[in-house]
């Protein structure tokens, strides 16, 4: 990994809860087109796309990003209640939310009874989420600052790893997700949510999106062998469950 090629994220980033929602939020708010670098280029798993994705994202302040991540516009297309319901009974499960950012999904997973590790590379997002946790007296979210090259999970530590709109921020993805797999219990799963690689009212430009087929191909290299792909639950995004 070359951390110098990345800037701290979101959830959205690596990590931080995705900058994809932020990109099209700009469009809806009339601020779009600072640059179309957003999700960076070749999607070859070697880091080129992560460089421009993070650069684009951090043209905005942490406060601006949080406002976008937590906006009603995002709720409309992200359908978090549907997503949490789709994930099944989460009560008592240990879940890592990679690219937790503002805690958009972390707090919802916690409300569903999960023990959540809100993971991010960004000190600023971790600080903001810490304040949110304290203000709302949430006791089942653990903050975890993670490096750029791995999830910092102990072997078989969690039942599930969730990564929403953040996959493209990660370099050397087969290597990264082999570490994710090692940190997930034998009967656990990885869940990836990201935008269809086509024109949509929200999300990054088409040439910056990563297709579900490429995601599956890279996850196979990481050691995953079972895949459940849902293209119907969300209007603009696919969901991949991998084991």
For the stretch 108-118, pLDDT in tens is 999 999 999 99
For the stretch 170-225, pLDDT in tens is 989 999 999 999 999 999 999 999 999 999 999 878 888 899 999 999 999 999 99
The model's pTM is 0.78
Instruction: Please state which of the four CATH numbers 3.10.20.30, 3.40.50.150, 3.40.50.280, 3.40.309.10 is assigned to the domain occupying 3-242.
Output: 3.40.50.150
Q: What is the domain partition of the chain in residue ranges?
A: 3-242
Q: Has residue 9 got a pLDDT over 90?
A: no
Q: How far is CA 205 from CA 131, 137, 212, in A?
A: 33, 38, 16
How are beta strands 237-242 and 184-195 bridged, if at all? Answer: antiparallel
SS (H, E, C) 189-231: EEEEEEECCCCCCCCCCHHHCCCHHHHHHHHHHCCCCCEEEEC
């Amino acid at each position: 990994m070359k951390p110098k090629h990345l800037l701290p994220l979101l959830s959205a980033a690596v990590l931080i809860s995705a900058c994809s929602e932020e990109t099209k939020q700009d469009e809806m708010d009339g601020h779009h087109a600072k640059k179309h670098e957003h999700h960076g280029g070749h999607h070859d798993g070697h880091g080129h796309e992560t460089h421009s994705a993070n650069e684009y994202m951090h043209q905005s302040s942490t406060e601006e990003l949080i406002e976008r991540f937590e906006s009603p516009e995002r709720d409309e297309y992200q359908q978090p209640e549907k997503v949490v319901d789709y994930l099944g009974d989460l009560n008592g499960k240990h879940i890592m939310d990679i690219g937790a950012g503002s805690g958009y999904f972390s707090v919802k997973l916690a409300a569903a009874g999960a023990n959540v590790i809100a993971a991010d590379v960004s000190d600023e997002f971790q600080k903001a989420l810490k304040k949110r946790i304290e203000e709302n007296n949430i006791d089942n979210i653990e903050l975890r600052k993670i490096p750029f090259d791995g999830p910092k999970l102990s072997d078989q530590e969690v039942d599930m790893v969730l990564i929403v709109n953040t996959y493209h921020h990660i370099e050397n993805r087969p290597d990264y997700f082999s570490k994710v797999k090692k940190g997930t219990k034998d009967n656990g799963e990885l869940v990836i949510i990201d935008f269809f690689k086509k024109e949509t009212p929200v999300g990054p430009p088409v040439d910056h999106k990563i297709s579900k087929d490429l995601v599956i191909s890279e996850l196979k290299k990481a050691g995953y062998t079972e895949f459940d792909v849902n293209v119907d639950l969300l209007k603009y995004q696919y969901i991949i469950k991998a084991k």
